[in-house]
Amino acid sequence: MGLADIDLPTIEAAIVRLCRNARYFPTVAEIRAESTGIAGVDVGAEAMAAWGEVKRAVAAYGADGSPTWSSLAIAFAVDAIGWRDYCRSDVDSEASWRARFCDAFRGYRRAELDRLQVGDAPPRPRLDAPADRPALTGGPR
């Protein structure tokens, strides 16, 4: 796929950033990684920020609510741990829920970054699933 799915100004900016510290012109993979923000991504920090979003959603929506997530990785991770199960769990088990969520989030996010790096077009599913399929938004299962 090369770089066809990335807009030209983003590619140009990535090349400029890469050439500042490089001895040779960057490869397509390096340009793609820089353009899509893959270079230097701290998935662990992203997981903790995503957990913060989940905590805010619990306070705002409760177990019967259906929040909309800012990323598909969050939606998948919430679905993996179970939205209602988490919302109705004991406060004392918070650390184990956070660990399960962060593990799931990191797995989904790394897969997403891998797809971007090799040039596969990222999936563009809706975060609100049609009525005939279970929602990925943390709603009822």
Same structural domain, 122 and 67: yes
H/E segment holding residue 34? helix 28-35
User: How far from chain centre, in Å, is Cα 95?
Assistant: 21
For the chain, what is the domain count? Answer: 2
Same structural domain, 140 and 74: yes
Same structural domain, 77 and 99: yes
What's this model's pTM, rounded to 2 decimal places? 0.58
Same structural domain, 51 and 35: no
Q: State the Cα–Cα distance between residues 54 and 98, nearest whole angstrom.
A: 10
The residue-averaged pLDDT of 47-71 equals 93
pLDDT in tens, 24-36: 888 888 888 777 6
- pLDDT at position 74, please? 92
Q: Which of 39, 1, 2 is nearest to 17 (CA)?
A: 39
Which residue range forms the structural domain that includes residue 87? Answer: 42-141
CA distances from 81 to 41, 91, 96, 97 (A): 24, 15, 10, 7
